Each structure stands twice: as C-alpha cells, then as structure tokens.
C-alpha cells in the first residue's frame, strides 16, 4: 500500500494512503516556499506528454497559485480518469465491470474513513481507472482529517454530488461521503453526470427535496433500492456506513 504524495521542492507536504500497488506523484520543478499547500482541479492544467513506459506516463503541466504565480509540475499516473472512460466506452462497459468499478471506489473510501479522513469530493472526475486495475480515489484538496467538518464560509462547491445537509449547513461527515458515493454509483451505471438536464438552482432544490437521479434501465433493482434507502436517505443516521455500502456493489 503506497502513499499518494504531493511534493514541493523535493519535500512531501501532504500524504494520503489508498489501496493500490502504485503511487501517483505531483511534483513541482521548483519550490514555492510554502509549508502548507493544496490545490484544486482548476489550478492544474495537464499538458504535454513527456514520456511513458512500463510504470505509466509523465506529463508536463502548470500550477497556478493564489498569488497568480504559475509554476511547472510533473504529473505521473498509470491510469486515466474514470469519468473519461465512462463517457468514451458507455456502450461497451459490462455490468460486471461497472460493479467492479463501484467496489474499487468503495474500498478506497472505506480505507480513508478508517484513517479518519473525510474525502468531501467523491465523483468520477476524482477517480483514476484502467481495465487491468481497480478504481483509485484521488484527492484535489477538499479532504479533511476528522469525523466531521463544517465550512466556515460559503464557496463554490460541487452541489450535484453533495448531501442535502452539506448544501443546507455546510456540514460534512462520513455519511455525506456515503451520499456522494451513491451519486458516484449513479455515474458509473449511467456514464453521465448527475442532474445533467437542469441548472444549479434546480439541482439544489431537488437534492434538498429528496428527488433522485433516475438510474438507467439495466441497473440492478436491489442496487437502486439500496442507494435510495441507505445512501440517499435524507436522514444521515439512516445511511449505511461505508463497509455496508461496499457490499451493495455486489448486487
């Protein structure tokens, strides 16, 4: 079990663990002089392929800091984005493969919870995947240590994946991760984003009112029932823990 490391100027400043044989590294080509450092998707632009081989590929990219400074990063990854894979292969992915995708993600989230970490941004765009391996959960700066986290100020958030209590009170817990995992399962079986046909305001209302995404034909009925009752339940206490949610992937 290897760590995912964020490396600044040769020094690791953030480390999470996941169930995987390989590690993904994002390293700056020069230091930025920060002791605490994190970034989101929008800060990193992945570009030119530098090289690839047995251990994956390395791409050149840029990282834009809050100060406006842009630095170069090297990104090593052995997997592609799950979201892209789902879109490109939506007509060819078997039910068994989708089930394995959900299981891999569940293992990763469960492991984070055991390490006392909240992910807070579970979605297909934050997962890596290749057909010879499992889904790997990645993090772009929203994860926090602890069993709950309350945002002090409002900021732009991925509401299509958020639990109703997170939208209403900015509170995040393991149960809100479970809710988001249910949305990820919807992404895996539908090969599309949640609530694609409506805007953010309407999405917010549907989530708070408990109006769910409609799973496509062919999704196991028992899985749909479990997601609606044990992941998307408006009462967080009625939602399953991740170890129970993991078993739902076998339906």
Binding residues: 76
Beta-carbon contacts of 108 under 8 Å, excluding residues fewer than 6 positions away, are 18, 19, 135, 136, 137
CA 231 – CA 242 distance, rounded (Å): 10
Are 194 and 187 in contact by the 8 Å Cβ rule? The answer is: yes
Place of tokens 């939208």: 167
Q: For this structure, is 91 an active site residue?
A: no
Q: Which of 121, 139, 177, 193 is catalytic?
A: 121
CA 160 – CA 237 distance, rounded (Å): 21
Instruction: List the binding residues for ATP.
Output: 76
Place of tokens 């010879």: 132
Burial environment of residue 237 by CB neighbours within 10 A (0 to 12, 13 to 18, 19 or more): exposed
Q: Active-site positions?
A: 121
């Amino acid at each position: 079990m290897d760590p995912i490391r964020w490396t600044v100027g040769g020094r690791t400043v953030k480390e999470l663990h996941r169930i995987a044989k390989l590690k993904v590294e994002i390293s700056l080509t020069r230091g930025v002089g920060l002791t605490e450092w994190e970034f989101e998707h929008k800060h990193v632009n992945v570009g030119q392929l530098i090289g690839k081989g047995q251990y994956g590929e390395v791409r050149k990219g840029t990282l834009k800091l809050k100060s406006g400074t842009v630095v170069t990063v090297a990104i090593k990854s052995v997997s592609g984005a799950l979201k892209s894979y789902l879109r490109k292969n939506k007509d060819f992915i078997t039910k068994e493969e989708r089930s394995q995708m959900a299981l891999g993600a569940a293992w990763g989230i469960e492991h984070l919870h055991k390490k006392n970490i909240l992910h807070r941004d579970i979605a297909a765009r934050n997962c890596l995947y290749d057909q010879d391996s499992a889904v790997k959960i990645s993090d772009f700066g929203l994860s926090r240590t602890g069993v709950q986290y309350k945002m002090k100020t409002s900021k732009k958030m991925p509401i299509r994946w958020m639990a109703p209590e997170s939208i209403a009170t900015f509170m995040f817990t393991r149960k809100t991760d479970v809710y988001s995992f249910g949305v990820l399962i919807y992404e895996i079986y539908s090969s599309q984003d949640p609530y694609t046909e409506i805007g953010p305001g309407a999405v917010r209302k549907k989530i708070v009112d408990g109006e769910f995404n409609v799973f496509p034909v062919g999704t196991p009925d028992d899985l749909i029932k479990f997601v609606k009752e044990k992941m998307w339940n408006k009462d967080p206490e009625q939602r399953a823990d991740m170890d129970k949610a993991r078993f739902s992937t076998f339906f």
